[in-house]
Amino acid sequence: MNDNPPNPQPAVFLDAPNVAALALNLWKSELREKALKSGKSAQASRRPKAAFTVRDLPSSERPRERMHALGPEALSLQELLACLLGRGSAGESVIALSQKLLQKYGSLDKLAQASVGELARVSGIGQAKAVQLKAAFEIGRRLELAASYPSSKAIETVETAIAAARKVLSGKKKEQFVVILLDSRHRVLRASSVSIGTLDMSVVHPRETFREAITEGAAAIIVAHNHPSGDPDPSSEDIALTRRLMEAGQLIGIPVLDHLIIAGRQALSLRAMGFLEE
């Protein structure tokens, strides 16, 4: 048995320079740790917060669920637009996007008149959503138009023909060419837009004008376009187009009964002026 006590460890004595160096190293380590924590905090603060979405709403407050439970009549205009758009965009919910559209255009009527290109340029809308909106507005317009024509009322005078054309063209800011399809008793089947923009014979082709008439089995047609300038006088292009359509109608057996020009409160019949004489 070894009764000798263990050798004691020699004491370590730091002189002043060593103490100063150790303190400096500890201070530098503390600074690095603080800087690291500060950098992480700054990154967290710059990280974008998750945008509010429809999913954040209670199920009973979401537009689609509300329509399913209560019907479309219970939804606000903003909610109906949200149902059409489907989803929002990055950083913007579909509810906010719908509200932005209503604020930009001021009313549903002005929103419905916006072109696909104009809608697509709104931030968060894009081409696909713009087409969805425009298609919905066009369906509504056609439904309203079909309901506005009494099925039993025939177009027998220039006045009734002008009244029918006004329902389609009144208030249009761009020149638009439409064809009104008639049955064998000259009752309105429906009206169809052929072109929007400057009237040009290369655009308003007989093929496009009579396509709908053939598909719908129309017995006759009335064509009409508007003059946003307010001047109803026909141009030489209007007269030439009328005669070209008349000739095409005679060939396929669907006569053109009249060509009407709507110009604000004024209107003009090219038949009444003698331009449709055979």
Domains of the chain: 54-146 (1.10.150.20), 151-269 (3.40.140.10)
pLDDT digits (tens, 9 = 90+) for 175-212: 889 999 999 999 988 888 888 765 554 457 788 889 88
DSSP 3-state of 138: helix
CA distances from residue 29 to 25, 202, 203, 224 in whole angstroms, order as listed: 6, 80, 78, 85
Mean pLDDT, residues 112-116: 86
Query: For residue 254, what pLDDT is reported?
Result: 95
**Would residue 230 be called left, alpha or beta, if left means φ above 0 and alpha means ψ between -120 and 50 degrees?**
left
55 or 240, higher pLDDT: 240
At residue 7, the pLDDT reads: 58
pLDDT at residue 201, rounded to an integer: 46
Interval 228-273: pLDDT, tens: 888 889 988 889 999 999 999 999 999 999 999 998 888 999 998 8
Beta strands in the chain (DSSP E): 176-182, 188-196, 220-226, 256-263, 266-269
